[in-house]
């Protein structure tokens, strides 16, 4: 029998609400996020240690301002020179990869989880997860929402308040709800 975690990894509908393994992993992650968010800003070494232990991969140079929230942590990969401002939320049911030189403004969310349109499936608590990929040299403005399955190419700027529901090609400025390319950079 296939586990709920494996269903999630395969992009199938899965039940995260009643699976003991997934619940335990989220609780462990949230305990680390809680500790991280309650450290003094000056406790930089402990903050870095928590992120390194929490994330699947991290560069050597990064700063994630408090508060920060994620679901599992191990599905998050950040490159070198990564910066996330306050109130960053990464629901990492699937992989979320950030390249080098990524700058994230306050209040941004990256959501790999979604729910089916079918009301019976949704009411049973089923969900799906699709990976998110952010390229190198990307600036994401304040309060941007990146939805499941989105890829943002290298050298992009995403304008504040955008809802990114489809891929954004490299070297472009994109803004809006829904987010759309305005021009090449």
Q: In sequence order, what are the residues at sequence separation of 6 or more whose Cβ sits closer than 8 angstroms to the Cβ of residue 11? A: 94, 128, 129, 130
In the residue annotation, 60 being an active-site residue is answered as no
How long, in residues, is the chain? Answer: 185
Alpha-carbon separation of residue 182 from 13, 111, 144, 156, 167 (angstroms): 35, 23, 16, 11, 14
Helix-then-strand count for the chain, H and E: 4, 19
Q: Which of 34, 60, 115, 143 is catalytic?
A: 115
- The values of phi and psi at residue 134, to 5°, are -115, 125
Comparing C-alpha atoms, which of 30, 32, 25, 26 is closest to residue 47?
32
> By the 8 A CB rule, do 152 and 168 touch?
yes
Catalytic residue numbers? 115
């Amino acid at each position: 029998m296939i586990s709920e975690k494996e269903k999630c990894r395969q992009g199938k509908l899965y039940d995260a609400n009643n699976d003991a393994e997934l619940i335990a992993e989220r609780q462990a992650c949230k305990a680390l996020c809680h500790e991280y968010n309650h450290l003094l800003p000056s406790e930089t070494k402990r903050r870095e240690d928590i992120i390194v232990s929490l994330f699947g991969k991290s560069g050597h140079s990064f700063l994630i301002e408090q508060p920060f929230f994620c679901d599992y942590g191990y599905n998050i990969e950040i490159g070198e020179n990564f910066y996330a401002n306050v109130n960053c939320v990464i629901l990492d049911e699937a992989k979320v990869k950030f390249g080098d030189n990524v700058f994230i403004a306050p209040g941004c969310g990256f959501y790999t989880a979604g729910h089916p349109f079918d009301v019976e499936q949704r009411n049973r608590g089923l969900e799906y997860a699709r990976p998110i990929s952010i390229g190198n040299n990307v600036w994401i403005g304040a309060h941007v929402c990146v939805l499941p399955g989105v890829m943002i190419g290298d050298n992009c700027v995403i304008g504040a308040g955008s809802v990114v529901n489809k891929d954004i090609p490299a070297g472009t400025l994109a803004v809006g709800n829904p987010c759309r390319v305005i021009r090449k950079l």
